[in-house]
Structure 1
Amino acid sequence: MVRDIVRSRILLARSSRQATADDLAIGADLADTLAAHSDGCVGMAANMIGERVCIIAVLDRNGRPRVMYNPSIVWHEGPYQTEEGCLCLEGTRPATRWRRIAVEYQDSSMRARTGRFEGLEAEAIQHEIDHCDGVVI
């Protein structure tokens, strides 16, 4: 189900709780909402649809939403400066990101996974993990 986008900086600045199997429907809604906004958005976190739970969705290289529950960056290299926008906020802001990252997360079966990402996909994952931590850039 496509959900409305939260635009309140106060709500977005609150950190999220860890996801459980009870939150799988939120992940599905997040993927649907990202797909509906894929013309101008490459990633979303659950707090962007009003749910304070650590779930993100990012478009993979094929343009499909990849949902990650409880993602955590466990390795990174190649810092760089960039400008990022956010569907929730107007304009762009500077950010420091890593070119390549490894992320531990759980998939939609709540199985532990590890993935390596680079480029725009890595940048989007980092941005959405910031959302889970209540960091608003």
Structure 2
Amino acid sequence: MIYPIIPYGDPVLRKEADDIEKGSIDVKQLAEDMFETMYAASGVGLAAPQIGMSIRMFVVDGRPFNEGEDLDERDKDPSVVDFKKVFINAEILEEDGDEWGFEEGCLSIPGIRADVYRPEFVKIHYYDTDWNEHTEVYEGLAARIIQHEYDHIDGILFTDHLSPVKKRMLKNKLSDISKGKVKVDYKMKFK
């Protein structure tokens, strides 16, 4: 099932999401639906608040970063090879390394991209859809995708990481998105 994406301006994107109690929802079905929704919108990550659910779950698939015929083998990021995962009740334990800039976008904020600086390593504790517990360290693009999606379950958007000047420059565009004045080729749900 493809869910509509919740746009910038909706309060659900600003709430700190709740932990999921084991057995309270079908996390496997929800993960399937979230992947289907993400692929339909050409995304590499999707957090539950972006489909209107204030729960601590997100899905990622960074493999598209290594696809494309003009991509040289040396340009491929090893961190996103086979990087398709579901994170439930995730908790970032540590962020480390040099901060590096990368142009980020967001399905909830279409048409806006900006450089965001994040640490290169992340250590995260989470559960998978079988409720197996994991603690893992990620780097590079994989770490960045996790940090971006993790922000969503904490009510933070990538635009919050921008300078005050950049935020002022984007104010009208963000306002238009919240009013539904935006063209996208995927389903969105405006109030």
Superposition TM-score, scaled by structure 1 size = 0.86
User: Post-superposition shift, 1:34?
Assistant: 1.9
Q: How does 1:9-88 map to 2 (within 5 A)?
A: 9-11=9-11, 12-21=13-22, 22-23=24-25, 24=27, 25-37=29-41, 40-60=42-62, 61-62=80-81, 65-78=84-97, 79-88=99-108
Q: In 2 relative to 1, CA 101–127 (structure 1 residues): closer, same or farther, beyond 3 Å?
A: same
| Higher normalized strand content (fraction of residues) | 1
Aligned to 2:4: 4
Matched positions, count: 135
Unaligned runs of 5+ in 2: 63-79, 160-191
C-alpha separation in 1, matches of 2:131 and 2:30: 13
Superimposed CA distance per residue, residues 20-42 of structure 1 (whole angstroms, 9 cap, x where no aligned partner): 232313333212222333xx421
Percent of aligned pairs sharing the same letter: 28
Q: In 2 relative to 1, CA 87–108 (structure 1 residues): closer, same or farther, beyond 3 Å?
A: same
Instruction: From 126, 130, 137, give the equivalent of 1:105.
Output: 126
Instruction: From 105, 114, 138, give the equivalent of 1:93.
Output: 114
| Higher normalized helix content (fraction of residues) | 2
Matched, 1:127 2:148: yes
For the pair shown, the structure with the greater C-alpha radius of gyration is 2
- Which amino acid in 2 is paired with 1:87? L
Unaligned runs of 5+ in 1: none
RMSD: 1.9
- 2:83/2:142 contact within 8 Å kept: no
